[in-house]
Every structure is written in structure tokens, then in C-alpha cells.
Amino acid sequence: MLILAIDTSAIASAALLRSTRTDGAAEVLASFASTETNTHAEVLAPAIQGLLAEAGVAGAELDRIVVGVGPGPFTGLRVGIATARALGFAWNVPVEGAVSLDAIAWDVLAAGEAPAQGFTVAIDARRKELYWARYAADGSLDEGPHVSVPGHLPEGPVCGAGAGLYADRLAAAGAPAVERFRDRQPTAASLGASALEKLARGEDLLATTPLYLRESDAKVPAAMQGHTP
């Protein structure tokens, strides 16, 4: 199976992956990940074009596109999901979604460092809050995703960039940051690898409906509310 994975829940990232094994183990053919959290619209499409050229793959050869549906901010998620849907339509390739936090959970499992009691994955949600989800030791999603202040996360180890951002507050709440993963952001390469393993197990992926978890910061001006052009 050949897939294009896209995630824009934090940084912008894309990857081409192939799996020929029954367990879904993936080979990353090419990948891209930005270092910024606010350049998604500018860098994503050129990056995908570059990945296809690097791997010598035409879009119509893909078996599916997998896109991270969040949680994440409105603008970032819209860029990734809209791009995935547009490419799927243009190439006549099915498009499916995956929880973006699954990418970090997959990283933890791939490193062989999943705590026996399970763990939480958290990334920055701004407004002094975190997007988070709780995972079992085998990487299956136990709870979430949610958005809340750091002190409301469940007790136990925390992985992801949110852990590093609020390490002291989390530790005080009994949710210590895992040092190796305290700065980790979701990436398309890990998201795609996680999705391929799920498909190999016969699990379904998600629709491409974004997981915003809260209302947009953008508001209709009071003067325009109720106004019909």
C-alpha cells in the first residue's frame, strides 16, 4: 500500500509511505516537516510536490491519502484537510483521517518506551491550554482528545510538546513530562505509519471532519450580526 500522509495540527508535515507487509510496517519513501507553526499554507503544497518528485511517484498511483484531523487550531487544520481533500479529488484517491496525537503515541511505541500504565500525549493549544489524549501501553486510544488547562490532565507520564511547555505545572499535578518526548510534535511520517498499522489490523480510519474542540477565535462583528446582504 502506498499512501501520502499530511498533518498540520502543529507544524506542517507530509510523507510518502509504503507498506508491503501484513503487519503494516512502513517504509518512509520521502518526508517533509517544517520548523514553524504558522507557515502551513506557504510550504505544504510545494513540499508535497517535492516529495512526489523525489520518490518518482505520481499522485494517481497512491492507494489513499491520510490526513491528521487534529486536534489543532482552525487555520492549520483547514490547510491540511483542504489540501488532502483537493488532492484526493484531483487524483481520484480516497482520503481518510486520523487523530494527530496518534503520531506521537506511535513514536513512543516505536521507541519501545511506552509506560506499562499508559501515557498521555499533549501539544500546545494556546490560551495556556493543551490538546491531549490518553493512550494505553499498546498505543490504543483510551480517552480524548480533549482541550484543558495543564492541571486537568490525568496523572501519569506525558509526552509531546505540551509536556515540555508546561513541565513544572504538569509535574505538580502528578503528570511528569517524559524527557525524550517533551518537545515532540505530530509528524506526517509517524501519523502515516500509525495509520498503516491500523489498516493492517482491519481497523477503520476516521472521516476528515476536523477536531477543533473549541470555537474559533474569529468572531462576526456585532454590527454585522443578523445582517442579510
Distance CA 94, CA 72 (A): 23
Helix ranges (DSSP H) in the chain: 40-55, 74-91, 102-110, 161-165, 167-172, 188-200
Q: Say if residues 162 and 124 touch (Cβ distance below 8 Å).
A: yes
The three cell numbers of residue 133 are: 489524549
User: Along the 229 residues of the chain, how does pLDDT read in single tens digits?
Assistant: 999 999 999 999 999 999 988 888 899 999 999 987 777 888 999 999 999 999 999 999 999 999 999 999 999 999 999 999 999 999 999 999 999 999 999 999 999 999 999 999 999 999 999 999 999 999 999 999 999 999 999 999 999 999 999 999 999 999 999 999 999 999 999 999 999 999 999 999 999 999 999 865 544 455 555 554 4
Do 2-100+187-200 and 102-181 share a fold? yes
| Topology of domain 102-181, CATH | Nucleotidyltransferase; domain 5 (3.30.420)
**HEC readout, 189-209:** HHHHHHHHHHHHCCCCCECCC
Taking residue 25's Cβ as centre, other Cβ atoms within 10 Å add up to: 12
Distance CA 96, CA 27 (A): 20
Domain boundaries, the chain: 2-100+187-200, 102-181
Distance CA 40, CA 23 (A): 32
| Topology of domain 2-100+187-200, CATH | Nucleotidyltransferase; domain 5 (3.30.420)
pTM, full prediction: 0.92
At 158, which amino acid appears? V
Distance CA 169, CA 95 (A): 38
The dihedral over CA atoms of 224, 211, 37, 81, expressed in degrees to the nearest 10, equals -90
Distance CA 161, CA 26 (A): 24
Beta bridge partners of 148: 130
Taking CB atoms within 8 Å and a gap of at least 24, the contacts of 176-182 are 178/108, 178/113, 178/115, 178/119, 180/111, 180/113, 181/104, 181/107, 181/108, 181/113
